[in-house]
Amino acid sequence: MKESLTTSPAETLLAWYDVHHRNLPWRVGPADRKRGIRPDPYRVWLSEVMLQQTTVAAVTSYFEAFTAKWSRVEALAAAPAEDVMAAWAGLGYYSRARNLHACAKMVAERGGFPETAAELQTLPGIGPYTAAAIAAIVYDEPATVMDGNVERVMARRFAETAPLPGVKEELRAHAARLTPPSRPGDYAQAVMDLGATICTPRRPACAICPWRPGCQGFEEGIAATLPRKAPKKAKPVRHGTVYVARTGSSVLTVRRPDRGLLGGMLALPTTDWTEGETAHRPPFHADWREIGEVRHTFTHFHLRLAVMAAMLPQERAGTMPAEQAESAMPTVFAKALRLTKNVSQ
């Protein structure tokens, strides 16, 4: 089946998007845009940073909580860093939260967001994808927006059978050729919506896809197998010990160093995490008992932490209500805290 000679792929997709776009709390829909309502760069930026390595379903409640608490970039810039990190807890990839706060401060100082992808990339935490997305969606720059959804759509449309990540530049070139000078922001969101709702990783709904005509992957019967990926290397396993010291309904907490994994986050005392065996090194003398183990997976490694618990006779500096601590900590520490919930003196 051939595409119409009078309608471009971009026009076909935009006509589909006008009817079938997702309603998202950070998005200005096509009908509102036609009425002159412009996307808020703060909300678009915040959503794009949150959506890195995360799903729309997981992000929505965090986005709504953030914007309810800090409705403007200036408010976020003025917030204490620990409040921002606590609000981020559970989203993962905590360097994003540190960069988010640093970026908000820079934007507030300069009086607003830059308006080009090149300038946006000078801000903390804004890489090529995020810069292109903001520039296209907010400022109508015909930037090439490439996320996992777009890569998948391009691999299938052009039947690119070479594996990722090696084929990324070819996919980017395809995406750049298709990006229209008119409505580039809506087009960028349309391709992402197509990948999220129709051209899905498993069982793509090719029968109702607006781009089925002209899709080489569909015509060759290989769409569902694309994109292909190079075999993943096995993740190493690191080990360590985490210490949960309770007194009544409170727990002893620490603040992790600003740099490094989970930097600046509220945490529990822990040893270093290494691939070899680790010795217990309690932060202070107490009647420590091993309660069990928690496991967690980060981007580059699996983590196994032995959980040691102790009851303290009285509160000491650094203790806080356990329920408050659990909600503010990264998931790995919240797991350890929950494991010791019923430990008594």
Contacts of 129 (CB under 8 A, 6+ apart): 48, 52, 145, 146, 147
- Return phi, psi of residue 344, to 5°: -120, 165
Question: CA-CA distance, 288 to 307, in Å (whole number)?
Answer: 10
48 noted as active-site residue:
yes
Measured between its terminal Cα atoms, the distance across the chain in Å is: 73
Question: CA-CA distance, 249 to 119, in Å (whole number)?
Answer: 49
Residue 108: half-sphere exposure toward Cβ, Cα within 13 Å: 15
What does each C-alpha distance from 103 to 45, 71, 262, 336 come to in angstroms? Answer: 10, 15, 18, 32
8 Å CB contact between 69 and 87:
yes
Active-site residue, selected from the candidate residues 48, 141, 160, 326: 48
Question: Would you please indicate which residues are annotated as catalytic (active-site) residues?
Answer: 48
